[in-house]
Amino acid sequence: MDVVTLSRLQFAVTSMFHFIFVPLTLGLSLLIAYMETRYVSTGDIVWLRMTKFWGKLFLINFTLGIVTGITLEFQFGMNWAEYSRYVGDIFGAPLAIEATVAFFLESSFIGLWVFGWNKVSKKVHALSIWLVAFATNLSGLWILLANGWMQHPVGYVIRNGRAEMVDFTAMLTNPYGLLKFFHTIFSGYVVAAFFVMGVSAWHLLRKTNQDLFRRSFRLAASFGLASSLLVFLVGDFHAAEVAKTQPTKFAAMESVWETRAAAPYHLLLIPDVENERNSVEAFSVPKMLSFLASHSGDAVVRGLKDFPKADRPPVLPVLAGFRGMAALGMLFMLLTLIAFILSRKGRVEPGPLFLRIMLYSLPLPYIAAQLGWIVAEVGRQPWIVYGVLRTSDAVSRSVSISQVAASLAGFTLLYGLLAIVDIYLLFKFSRKSPDEDTGSIVRTARQEV
Amino acid sequence: MEYQVLWFILWGLLWAVYFMLDGFDFGTGMLQRVLSRSNTEKRIIINTIGPVWDGNEVWLITAGGATFAAFPTAYALMFSYLYSPLLIILFALIIRGVAFEFRGKGGSDAWERALDAAIFFGSFIPSLLFGVAFGNIFQGLPMDGSGYHGTLLSLLNPYGILTGALFVLLFLEHGALWLALKTDGELAQRAELLSGRIWAVLLFVAVLFLVHTAFATKLYANYLNAPFWFIVPLAGVASLGAVRIFSTFRNYGSAFIASCITIIMIVFTGIIGLYPNLIPSSIDPEHNVTIFNASSGIYTLKIMTAVVLLFVPVVIAYQIWIYRIFRSRVTPQDIEDNREAY
């Protein structure tokens, strides 16, 4: 293995690990903010106990998201120095802005939220978790605008041997970045919804704290249904944007080899990469692929053979990643729809079978999110900045194979350890009964009621 | 003023503020075991920084991000040349953050002891290595047209180690003063006593650093050209003296502020000496990385200036507000009352 491969592997390990924690933070922060607001406006203790119960799980997850995020910023300079030098003029800005406008807000107010229960008024306390939720999502916006620029570079010129920013607004309004932002945050909401429904299902099956967990389940079901629909809708537009701006990625997503108009969609498809064709194409829907690519059934879809071999991404992981993600996305719409119908007030309660399904579905949105990133990042290859800079030209020149091998081993070891601790703690605290006595804040609240 | 110069100042300021803020977190983390006599005291100590350490650490992310956006070439070279020490710092910071959050959640003594060790090393290692890294940048890195010729071991030269020791002592003193201010009773007394002892060693090492700088680096060239700037290292020494004076009168609030000023002045002593370099080359001045040959275009610098001038004051305002909310001393009652406390 060479430095490029090892560095890519390290970036994959560290960013995929980071992205175990981010999506839950994006969605659960909003749900907790909603719960606490309901507590503040109604004085109903159940909402407070919900806030505390989910808040504890949120914090375990949040901490790992924060500490593993630093790695990503550092890595651009450490492992991808040529990339940083070449595009820092335009790519560095969104990262610096993210830290300044979003990350500060998030990290400062999470401290106030955790430690401030008895220090500030109930309203200010609820406001602080809203600020955390807002900042987390805002943080995602800047990061995905940065990533969107790598996918579809805009607002720059090549000057002085590097990419220089000439149009900041173009980067801010880059449709690729904005679509990716909405697709990503909605997928995070789906992760949070399934997390809450899954843990609630476990408690409902054991018939403990029925009121609290029924309420949590119901809230997450409607949140999850809305998010599943939105993530799919945005995903559809996102795919069309990919077809327009990254034809090689789109062709790999659907294993299209020949350019043609009115392209059909093959439900079953086995690619034969060596011979640049598909060995099996079955259950085809006429014109469907053209429709997905540009929302018009007769449109032309470009095939991989249109591009030199050196400019094509690996087909198998992109194809499999995309199909897996899309199939899971449809499953999420179905499950959240059933959950929504079953958990509406006064209707039949979700039965043990469905609860068990929801419990075991908990990891699925996590998998879908990871698959989505595989499509996005592997599909961009061999480019680090699509059409502008190749991944192989972007790596640090001064870093040796042994250094990257050692750091990759170190990250794998440390992150593996953190994963064990995280899973242990999440299991421990999600099985615990919510606190009956939620500390002095409840005592004061009871006196007020 | 040229945008590059403005950003050089901002760059120095971001790092200085980071060291000023996370500095007492590091000090507190290093002193947790030494100063505590019971588990409650251990918890009190980390709970003094509980609400703020996370926000403090973001100054590092911002300093890194600002380096990336304003001086991409310097960012690329600094981070890739200092690969190994930065990696170790990164691991230490990850372990520290996780240890704070998870210490109280494991439910066994062995777990807590293990994470206390993690807090110590997660605080000590970055303090030392940030010092080593900056000491080496002050000296210049062995780089020329063919790249970088240093190793992790070559960074551990006498001046690098001295700067590392200086950072460790600065943060220990900073943390001890913070704890004198933020804890109560016997614990606070122990912190007061220790801060006095650390101070004497710190003064010695700080003076040694300022003297050794004359021999090991070219930092003082700028000062000899414009002696006015000597006011900065002098202010560093003076504020270090003020730490002692305020401590004698047991005014630990003022002593802590003086310690903040000491850290800023010492960092700026180096920054002023570096100008106009961001990373000097120790072997070939032709290959100095300067604020002019490493900077982004003026367009980018203008946008970043607008962002910083608009938002950093807001950040400072709400961070001060949050510090004020948590201004009282942390007592056993506090951590009893808040189930979410560390």
Q: Which domain holds residue B93?
A: 22-331
Contact with chain B for residue A226, Cβ under 8 A? no
Cβ of B303 and A93 within 8 Å?
yes
- In this prediction, residue A348 carries a pLDDT of 59
Q: What average pLDDT does range B168-182 have in this prediction?
A: 96
* pLDDT score of A436: 65
Q: Does A435 touch chain B (CB under 8 A)?
A: yes
Global pTM? 0.93
Q: Which of B131, B140, B137 is nearest to B166 (CA)?
A: B131
Rounded to the nearest angstrom, the gap between the alpha carbon of residue A184 and the centroid of all alpha carbons in its chain is 5
Rounded to the nearest 10 degrees, the angle between the axes of helix A81-97 and helix A122-151 is: 150
CA distance A210 to chain B (A): 23
User: Given the DSSP bridges, would you call strands A277-285 and A300-301 parallel, antiparallel or unpaired?
Assistant: unpaired
User: Which chain B residues are within 8 Å of A95, Cβ to Cβ?
Assistant: 65, 68-69
Q: Hey, are the CB atoms on A440 and B337 less than 8 Å from each other?
A: yes
**For residue B9, is it within any domain?**
no
Which residue reads 């251990």 in tokens? Answer: B42
| Residue A427 contacts B, CB cutoff 8 Å | no
> A299: which 2 tokens?
């449109």
Residue B339 within any structural domain of the chain: no
Q: What is the pLDDT of residue A344?
A: 80
User: CA-based angle A412:A416:A420, to the nearest 5?
Assistant: 175
Rg for chain B (alpha carbons), in Å?
Answer: 20
Region of residue A157 (phi > 0: left; psi between -120 and 50: alpha; otherwise: beta): beta
Q: Is B191 a residue whose pLDDT tops 60?
A: yes
pLDDT at res. A449: 36
Q: Can you list the positions of beta strands (E) in A206-308?
A: 260-261, 265-272, 277-285, 300-301
Q: What's the domain count of chain B?
A: 1
Contact flag B58-A103 (C-beta cutoff 8 Å): yes
Give pLDDT tens digits for B221-236: 999 999 999 999 999 9
- What residues in A contact B57, CB-CB < 8 Å? 70, 107
In a domain, B11, yes or no: no
Question: Tell me, what CATH number does B162's domain have?
Answer: 1.20.1630
pLDDT confidence of residue A3: 92
Predicted pLDDT at B122: 96
Give A118 or B209, the one with higher predicted confidence: B209
Give B-chain residues touching A98 at CB under 8 angstroms.
65
Q: What is the block-wise mean pLDDT of chain A (449 residues), using blocks of 10 residues?
A: 92 95 96 96 92 93 91 93 93 93 94 91 94 96 95 92 92 94 96 96 89 92 96 91 92 91 89 88 87 87 91 94 95 94 74 91 96 95 92 91 94 94 90 69 45
Q: Is residue B1 part of a domain?
A: no
- Residues B8-31 have pLDDT tens digits of 999 999 999 999 999 999 999 999
Rounded to 5°, the CA angle A333-A59-B334 comes to: 145
Residue pair A419/A26 in contact (Cβ under 8 Å)? The answer is no
Pairwise CB contact (< 8 Å): A88 & B299: no
> How sure is the predictor about B146, in pLDDT bands with cuts at 50, 70 and 90?
confident
**What is the separation of C-alpha B71 from the centre of its chain, rounded to a whole number of angstroms?**
21
pLDDT attached to residue A448: 42
In a domain, B341, yes or no: no
Q: Note whether residue B106 is domain-resident.
A: yes
Query: If we measure between CA atoms, which residue out of B278, B312, B77, B301 comes closest to residue A93?
Result: B301
* Residue B10 resides in a domain: no
Chain B nearest C-alpha distance from A101 (Å): 6
CA-based nearest residue in chain A for residue B65: A96
A67 touches chain B (CB under 8 A): yes
Query: Does a structural domain hold residue B7?
Result: no
* Residue of B87, B300, B322 lying closest to A89 (CB–CB): B300
pLDDT tens for each residue of B298-338 = 999 999 999 999 999 999 999 999 999 999 888 888 887 77
Min Cα separation A441/chain B (Å)? 8
What local confidence, expressed as pLDDT, does residue B104 receive?
86
Does B79 sit within 8 Å of A71, measured CB to CB?
Answer: no
pLDDT of the residue at A342: 87
B76: which chain A residues are within 8 Å (Cβ-Cβ)? 77, 81-82, 84-85, 88, 396
